[in-house]
Amino acid sequence: MIGVLIIFAILAIVVIWYIATYNRFVRLRQRVKNAWAQIDVQLKRRHDLIPNLVETVKGYAAHERETLTAVTEARAKAASAPSPQEAIKAEGELTEALRRLLLVVENYPNLKADQHFLQLMEDLRTTENSIAFARQAYNDQSMVFNSQIKKIPDSIVASQMRLKEYPFWEIEEAAAEEREAPEVKF
Amino acid sequence: MKKTFWEIQREKKRAITLLFLFFFPFFTFSLAVLFEILRFSSVSLFFKDAKFSEFLIVSSVISLIVFFISVKGSSEGKIYRYLEMLNAQVPDLKDMKHQQVANVVREMAIAAAVPKPRVYVIPVLGKNAFSAFNIIAITEGAVSALDRDELQAVVAHEMAHYLRGDSYYKGVLSSFAMTITFFLTISLFFAGGDENSERRGFGGGFIGIAVVAYIFLVELFTKFLNALISRRMEDLADAMAVQFTRNPLSLASALFKVSRDRVRGISLLTNPAVAPLFIVNPARKQIDESSGVFGDIFATHPPINKRINTLLKLAGVSRKELVERTSPVRNNREWWVEKQDENLGPFTLEELLEKTWIGEGVKIRGKEGEVKLSQILSKFRPIEGQCPRCGGPLFNTYYDFVPIIKCGRCGGILVREDRIMRILARGENQITEAEEKVSESSLEKERKTFYIHGASPEAVDASQPLKCPFCGGEMWRKFFNFINYVPVDYCPKCKYYFFDSGEIEMIIAGVKRTKYLYR
Ligand SMILES: [Zn+2]
Ligand SMILES: [Zn+2]
Ligand SMILES: [Zn+2]
């Protein structure tokens, strides 16, 4: 009798563990997917912001035409990229062009006293940050996910669910310098 | 060996899990022992024949019930009522600083891969922030004092609490502690025994003392455990904040600035029910500041210097560099003002527009020579209506990003009522020492007027009320508050204050002085 009870208890524990682990993986996978979706959302947000930004800067610093056209062109290229690989490349160029624009703007102290301009800078800054943070979040989430599905005994559930590792998003050179890349050992 | 924030996170997570695993059986066992004690005392007529194992079952059922009630019942309504009491507002998007708050919250939600929580700004001068359930609130004092990166770090710390659901766990812990106290109090009451009953209880004998000691110890240990878990949660939130921002230095400098806040202890935030939720304990006790033995045992927050040092180690920056970094520097100071034969400056353009004592009578010199206040203001948007004091033109401008309306002739300003606290908070950083001195002495004059006339109409000179520039109604003449007795004008219909030239500086100087009193 007691033997049967013990076996029953062990079985119950295994089932509960399986369900709990399954649910955790579903949750973790959802977070990776959400983080990935945010990258797209934030890139789109940046595309919407650029025409307004370029117009304003033109009003104050018309002779920075070169930098401004570079931004406009990079945006057009990114918006019409035929393949995901090219889109990634074009977005990187756009990031570069915007960074140059920000440097140029530093030379116009009058601009900095202008609330409308400051407003735009804040918009741009939060958009650039959001893109960087969205990628970082995707990498963080997929790293946690990748290491969790390899852990024994949870990996049994993972292989049952046919979970695969997510690839990392390469962070561009300049951005990587600013943000210390996570050194992790699991 | 330098630890990464991932390693710190794993360490703290493990500690918290272990502590929680320990808390549950500890609670159940202490409760069962209590029942056993009660059985010996006079009230136990009901379960005289019960066994200890039965008590264990009863007390585990009780702890389960307490757990579920506190998880389900930890009502957000209480927090909303608290926010309402503090007059917390959603960020005012016309104010760039507030917009930054809204923006960094969105950014950190993205970095943490969680849905965006609700944001509130509490119009209180103390520098602090807290999160509860899906709410992140930050005080005006913190918004004013911290730069964008520092705000981001503070929000990241709160985002970590939000992501982990720490406020729920803290609710569970405190209801366990409350339940224990409840049963302990009851047993203390009954342990005294009943004179008329056949069993006399413990009375004052040796066993009685032992029971009181037991009760005392259990309470103490519960508090200790509570504080221990709470502190590990803070450490974890710091490490997670670094994961989100990848910028340990900004959190270190934010904590550094906040820790030197003079008004922490006197603000409205010390309510013990919410105090553990804040980023630094608002009830500034010596305990949180020192890193001695007692500081480590009962504080809900780790010693702030220990937190700063951990972060500095992650950033690879020395404390000296941190102190240098947080001292303010301002660029583009190119404006000079001549007032009563004194040459004042240099100011930035923004600072120049903030000074209400700059009006028609003072000479302003910039890089291109002498200019008039109205000329500088003319690049801002003029609005309809005239200055209630002198009839001059009015312009939309800013006081350290807080929208205000300024007269181009006399320098007086109109401020919407709900934005005044922000000006007072930001004024602390904007006002110079010389200004403070001048304002202090005019403040002294106002105080004397008040002492001569008392709170009578003469003291505020209400004989000729000003006309509100928006609705045309008569403005009230009243004291701004009853600490500094500065008479100001107020339109009750439009909820706008009018401050004459120099008045806002007087009020800021007054606020600063009262703060020094509490240092
Ligand atoms: Zn905290
Ligand atoms: Zn005027
Ligand atoms: Zn009015």
User: SS3 for B48?
Assistant: coil
pLDDT in tens, B451-498: 666 656 555 666 778 899 999 899 988 888 766 678 889 999 999 999
CATH class of this structure's domain B89-163? alpha beta
Query: What's the angle, vertex CA B415, arms to CA B365 and CA B431, rounded to 5?
Result: 45
Q: Answer whether B278's CB lies under 8 Å from B137's CB.
A: no
pLDDT in tens, B100-132: 999 999 999 999 988 899 999 988 777 888 888
Residue B300 CB coordination number (10 Å): 24
Confidence label for B190 from pLDDT (cuts 50, 70 and 90): low
Per the CB < 8 Å rule, is A130 touching B243?
no
Q: Which pLDDT score is estimated for B199?
A: 46
Per-residue pLDDT of chain A (186 residues; tens, 9 = 90+): 788 889 999 999 999 999 999 998 998 998 888 888 888 888 888 888 888 888 877 877 777 788 888 888 888 888 887 777 787 888 888 888 888 887 887 777 666 667 777 888 888 889 889 988 998 899 889 888 998 888 888 888 888 888 888 887 765 544 444 444 333 333
How far is it, in rounded angstroms, from Cα B32 to Cα B40? 13
The yes-or-no verdict on residue B315 having pLDDT over 80 is yes
Nearest to B252 by CA among B159, B316, B299: B316
CB-CB neighbors (< 8 A) of A34 in chain B: 113
Q: Answer whether B514's CB lies under 8 Å from B483's CB.
A: yes
Per the CB < 8 Å rule, is A130 touching B110?
yes
Q: What percent of chain B has pLDDT over 70?
A: 78
Cross-chain CB nearest to A141 (options B113, B246, B398): B113
Q: Which residues contact B92 (CB under 8 A, 6 or more apart)?
A: B98, B121, B418, B419
Q: Which pLDDT score is estimated for A104?
A: 80
Confidence label for B329 from pLDDT (cuts 50, 70 and 90): low
Q: Which pLDDT score is estimated for B71?
A: 67
Q: Which residues contact A116 (CB under 8 A, 6 or more apart)?
A: A56
Q: Structure tokens of B10?
A: 């794993």
Q: Answer whether B167's CB lies under 8 Å from B448's CB.
A: no
Q: Answer whether B481's CB lies under 8 Å from B397's CB.
A: no
Ligand nearest to the CA of B162: 1
pLDDT in tens, B30-78: 888 877 777 766 554 556 667 778 778 888 888 788 777 776 666 667 7
Q: How far is the CA of B410 from the centre of ligand 3 (A)?
A: 20
What is the location of CATH 3.30.2010.10 in chain B?
Answer: 89-163
Q: Is A80 on the interface with B (CB under 8 A)?
A: no
Q: How many CB pairs under 8 A join A and B?
A: 58
Q: Answer whether B162's CB lies under 8 Å from B117's CB.
A: yes
pLDDT in tens, B213-271: 877 888 888 888 888 888 888 899 999 999 999 999 999 999 888 877 655 444 455 55
Compute the half-sphere exposure of residue B434: CA atoms within 13 Å on the CB side of its CA: 8
CB-CB neighbors (< 8 A) of A125 in chain B: 103, 148
Q: Which pLDDT score is estimated for B363?
A: 85
CATH (one of 1.20.1300.10, 3.10.560.10, 1.50.10.20, 1.20.1440.20) for A2-170: 1.20.1440.20
A150 vs B272: which has the higher pLDDT: A150
Hey, what's the torsion of the CAs at A42, A134, A105, B146, to 10 degrees? Answer: 120
Q: Which pLDDT score is estimated for A184?
A: 35
B383 vs B283: which has the higher pLDDT: B383
> Which residues is B364 bridged to in the sheet?
B337, B371
Q: Is A58 on the interface with B (CB under 8 A)?
A: no
A85-100 as b/e: b if 16+ CB within 10 A: eebbebbbbbbbbbee
Q: Structure tokens of B3?
A: 């630890």
Cross-chain CB nearest to A133 (options B4, B110, B349): B110
Instruction: Tell me the nearest-neighbour CA distance from B311 into chain A, angstroms.
Output: 14
CB-CB neighbors (< 8 A) of B99 in chain A: 119, 122
Q: Which pLDDT score is estimated for B188?
A: 65
Hey, what's the torsion of the CAs at A22, A25, A31, A36, to 10 degrees? Answer: -120
Name residue B430's amino acid. Q
Instruction: Tell me the nearest-neighbour CA distance from A133 into chain B, angstroms.
Output: 5
Question: Positive or negative, the Cα torsion across A29, A32, A36, A37?
Answer: positive
Confidence label for B4 from pLDDT (cuts 50, 70 and 90): confident
Q: Which pLDDT score is estimated for B240?
A: 93
Q: Is A27 on the interface with B (CB under 8 A)?
A: no
Confidence label for B290 from pLDDT (cuts 50, 70 and 90): very low
Residue B447 CB coordination number (10 Å): 15
Q: How far is the CA of A36 from the centre of ligand 1 (A)?
A: 28
Can the peptide bond before residue B328 be classed as cis, meaning omega within 30 degrees of 0? no
B412 vs B281: which has the higher pLDDT: B412
Q: Which residues contact B424 (CB under 8 A, 6 or more apart)?
A: B125, B507, B508, B511
CB-based burial label for B68 (10 Å; 0-12, 13-18, 19+):
exposed
Which of A30, A126, A139 should one mutate to test binding to chain B, selecting the residue with the greatest count of B CBs within 10 A?
A126
The yes-or-no verdict on residue B502 having pLDDT over 90 is no
Report which DSSP code applies to B122: E
Q: Answer whether A1's CB lies under 8 Å from A103's CB.
A: no
Q: Is A148 on the interface with B (CB under 8 A)?
A: no
How far is it, in rounded angstroms, from Cα B356 to Cα B411? 5
B201 vs A15: which has the higher pLDDT: A15
Q: Answer whether B496's CB lies under 8 Å from B350's CB.
A: no
CB-CB neighbors (< 8 A) of B103 in chain A: 122, 125-126, 129
Q: Structure tokens of B108?
A: 């950190």
- Residues around ion ligand 1, judged by CB within 5 A, are B 234, 237, 279
The secondary element (H helix, E strand) that includes residue B162 is helix B148-164
